[in-house]
Structure 1
Amino acid sequence: MSAATGHHFARPGNRFWPVLHLSGFTPRQLAPSEQEELLSYGLGITNVVARATARADELSDEEFREGGRLLTAKVERLRPRRLAVVGVTAYRVAFGDRKAVIGPQERTIGDTRVWVLPNPSGLNAHWTLRTMAEEYARLRAAATEDPSP
């Protein structure tokens, strides 16, 4: 669906947009077609791997590793204060950190602090809408409390 529409998290059952709103990142729930509005909230969105798939397990480890290298270069160039990676498995492979868990990471990219968030896919059923929103809100609170790079 994302490949067909050109919008991130476009599948109707994906919980990304509701979670982003419930966690306080956006004042209302945005539709995937409104993803450009994220910039007005100081947020950006990109992919670790640019190839669209129905499931993350359709991507190879090498695709994730190359995506991690490309994302690192993008972060070094743009220097955001925070990088949030959605999906702990994707993060572990892309950044070579097999022991990473959800939450803030020790790793930084330059001055950019890194945080791993749960994947909002419906396939990640052990995370509820509420528990995901709580985790995303932890990142929002951390960014608000410490706005330095």
Structure 2
Amino acid sequence: MLGTGLRVLFCGINPGLLSAATGHHFARPGNRFWPVLHRSGFTARQLEPAQQWELPSHGVGITNVVARPSAKASDLSSGELRAGGERLVATVERYAPRWLAVAGIGAYRTAFGERTARVGPQQRRIGATGVWVLPNPSGLNASWSLEDLVAAYGRLAAVALGYRLDDSG
């Protein structure tokens, strides 16, 4: 789901097996991306994975660092992530979103060679595009609660969309 004029291009690590089978990003039922996207203010209502085509109307797009599907992101090699980072830079240069938001700190560190990166805005820019690292919304990422994910994504929404949500989400 790419296009020009995007405020934020969200970038997952790679498609899971269900996402690959359906062709829909973050398709696994336990993935919290779609509820977090809505509750943090990026979409007016919670979209389902099959409704990903609506994202550009909200000023956002979606892609992956690596195109190869796998059962777990940890199945990817460092070389695949680095090559994916190079492809991602080319994609960002082509479409020029205001922000690139990579959902997965470990994948970002490897893909971009930024071993000390933390969640939040990065010093790195790709042309005029700012880079923001977000926690992975996978249900397997138990160290981040739904509320914590909403807060992290909400910080990006405040900057990218120009407003701040109240605590009720």
Give the TM-score normalised by structure 2.
0.84
**Aligned counterparts of 2:156 and 2:55: Cα–Cα separation in 1:** 16
Amino acid at match of 1:107: R
Q: Confirm whether residue 133 of structure 1 aligns to residue 161 of structure 2.
A: no
Give secondary structure in 2 for the equivalent of 1:45: strand
Cα shift at 1:60: 0.4
| One-letter amino acid matched to 1:72 | V
| Cα drift, residue 143 of structure 1 | 1.3
Task: Note the aligned Cα RMSD (angstroms).
Answer: 1.0
Q: For each residue in 1:85-133, what CA deviation from the matched residue of structure 2 results, as whole angstroms up to 9, or x when unmatched?
A: 0000000000010000000000000110000000011111010011000
**1:70 aligned partner:** 87
| Equivalent position of 1:108 in the other structure | 125
User: Is 1:5 equivalent to 2:8 in the alignment?
Assistant: no
Equivalent residue in structure 1 for 2:107, among 80, 90, 94: 90
- Tell which has more relative contact order, 1 or 2 (C-alpha 8 A, sep 6+): 2
Aligned to 2:74: 57
Alpha-carbon distance in structure 1 between the residues aligned to 2:92 and 2:110: 18
Which segments of 5 or more consecutive residues in structure 1 lack a partner in the other structure?
Answer: none
Aligned to 1:105, the other structure's residue is in SS state strand
Say which structure is richer in helix: 1
Q: Secondary structure at the match of 1:50?
A: coil
Residue 96 of structure 2 corresponds to 79
Q: Deviations over 1:38-58 (max 9, x none)?
A: 010010000000011121100
* Number of positions where the alignment pairs a residue of Structure 1 with one of Structure 2: 146
Using the size of structure 1 for normalisation, the TM-score is 0.96
Alpha-carbon distance in structure 2 between the residues aligned to 1:52 and 1:40: 27
Instruction: Choose which of 19, 27, 48 in structure 1 pairs with 2:65.
Output: 48
1:39 aligns with 2:56: yes
> In 2, distance between residues paired with 1:31 and 1:54?
21
Query: What percent of counterpart residues are identical?
Result: 64
Structure 1: which 4+ aligned runs deviate by more than 2 Å? none
